Each structure stands twice: as structure tokens, then as C-alpha cells.
Amino acid sequence: MKLTMHPIIFLWSHPRSMSTATERIMRERGDLECLHEPFLHYYYLQKSKQNLAHFNDKPGHPVSYQDTRNWILERANSGPVFAKDMSYYVMPELLDDADFCENVRHCFLIRHPLKSILSYYKLDPGLSLEEIGLQAQWDHFQGIEKLNSTPIVLEAEAIQSDARAVMRLFWENLGLDYREQAFDWSNKSMPDDWQYVKGWHANVSSSAGIEAFSQANEDRAKFEFAQICREAPHLQTYLDAHLPSYQALKARSLSAATVDIG
């Protein structure tokens, strides 16, 4: 059933996957209304009631699943919408909402979980296994495939290696034209809907562009992760639990990146 006049593109990610930087590229295109984690309020204020570090509630934002999905659909009656969000916020209930699923183009962004867990732990040492997010992404991906839709998978490392080439391919698959202006981040202001989680986005808010891929950085992350696991051994358990889902999604990526991180 067609519920909206314009397309809705969702980039389903996991925390610290370079998703906000990718969202910023989409914002700078200038032809999409961009929504930043519209289901975050639902997950942290109603579904799980866990505490999220650096989160200040945004007054007036819809909180229930139903109200949030309806709000997104309403936005798409005014123009095309791009949203960046997390699969674990809405799994498994999203797959029971066939109408919404069929009105969304589902895309996924992944980053090697060793790096995303390391980055998340530095901001919130109380992170949970579910919040690593890749297991929910893989379940989500498989559910969308069963609805006879083929999701797009992007790798953060591939975007870092050649952002223009990867985003060009991504846009072609979405039927969007190439826009060089998307890579010009001269405007340093923080979007309004980043304000309530601004503690998570300080780097991308002040950055002039995507940080280039560096094998030295990958090696440094592996060393640092091993060091931190001495004081927080459960992080290795988290990595082991989510690595199979990452590998399954990576095997389906639009542009596979070679990451020697173990």
C-alpha cells in the first residue's frame, strides 16, 4: 500500500558506525528532508527505559512507535525524506508493520564492531550488548529480504577510502543524482535535531569532511581495544557476539572494503 507522496530512505546503522557523518553528506545534498534518529525517543523513553549518556529529551518529539512512524509518513507527504536510525530501536516490531516497511527504502551502514565498540565505550562505559546494534541489523536485513525487497549495505571503511565513488554508487542505486556539494562541509553549524544528542556528534559537527581511511588507525584501534579489554573483558564478549552479523552484512555490501583488523 502506497502511504506517501514522496520516497522515504532509511539508513539503518549501529552506534559509532560513522552514520552521522554519512547523514551529513545526505544533508548537504540539499534535496532531502533529513531526520536524525526519529525512533531514539521511542527506544530510550518507552521501549527499553535504559539511560543513554549525553541525551537530552527533545520536547514535542513523538515517543511511541506508532506516533513516530506516522510523523515520518506525514513528512514524506511534503517532500522526499532521508532518515538515519538504529535497527535495535525498532526490532522486531518494525517487521510487523508491513505498510511502513513497504513504503521505506531500507539501507544499512556497518563498521567493524571492534572500532564501533571501542568508540562507544569511551563515550558510555555502561553500553549494553543490544546497543552494539549489529545483531539487530542482521535480523532486520533478513526480515526485509523476506518482504521481497533488496536492501543496500554500505561500509564505513569504504566511504572513508573513497567517499565520492561509494556515495555515487549509493545514489545511483537510490535513483538520486550525483551532487558534489554534499562533500563540502563549510557550514559548521549543528542541525537542530542533533542538539539533544550533541555529546555524541562533536567531531562530525566541527569536521570539514570524512576522515580518510588509514590502516595505521585500524592497527591502533586493535591495540587499544586489547588494552581496554583488560579492564572491561565483557567487551570481547560483545565483539564475539556481533562479529558474525557484521560479516554476514559485509558479504552483501555495495562496495566491500578490505579491513585488516582481525
**Domain for residue 256, yes or no?**
no
Q: 85 by DSSP, 3-state: which?
A: strand
**Domain for residue 3, yes or no?**
no
Q: What is the pLDDT of residue 48?
A: 80
Q: What is the pLDDT of residue 211?
A: 76
Q: What is the pLDDT of residue 201?
A: 44
Q: What is the pLDDT of residue 13?
A: 97
Give 184-233 pLDDT, tens digit per residue: 887 655 566 645 455 444 554 445 567 777 788 888 999 999 999 999 99
Give 58-91 pLDDT, tens digit per residue: 667 899 999 999 999 999 999 999 999 999 999 9
Please state the length of the chain.
262
Q: What is the pLDDT of residue 217?
A: 84
Q: What is the pLDDT of residue 212?
A: 75
What's the average model confidence in pLDDT over 257-261? 54
Q: What is the pLDDT of residue 87?
A: 98
Total domains in the chain come to 1
Determine the structural domain holding residue 169 and report its residue range: 8-184+193-250
CATH value at residue 146:
3.40.50
**Domain for residue 15, yes or no?**
yes
Closest alpha carbon to 105 in 156, 152, 54: 152
Q: What pTM, to 2 d.p., does this model score?
A: 0.88
| pLDDT over 90, % of the chain | 72
Range name among 124-128, 157-161, 216-220 with the lowest pLDDT average: 216-220
- Lookup result for grid cell 507527504: 77
Q: What is the pLDDT of residue 52?
A: 64
User: What is the chain's mean pLDDT, rounded?
Assistant: 88
- Lookup result for grid cell 565498540: 117
**Domain for residue 258, yes or no?**
no
**Domain for residue 77, yes or no?**
yes
Instruction: Note whether 106 and 139 are within 8 A (CB).
Output: no
Neighbours of 247 (CB within 10 A): 14
**Domain for residue 259, yes or no?**
no
Q: What is the pLDDT of residue 60?
A: 76
**Domain for residue 261, yes or no?**
no
**Range from 1-5, 40-44, 171-175 that averages highest in pLDDT:** 171-175
**Domain for residue 2, yes or no?**
no
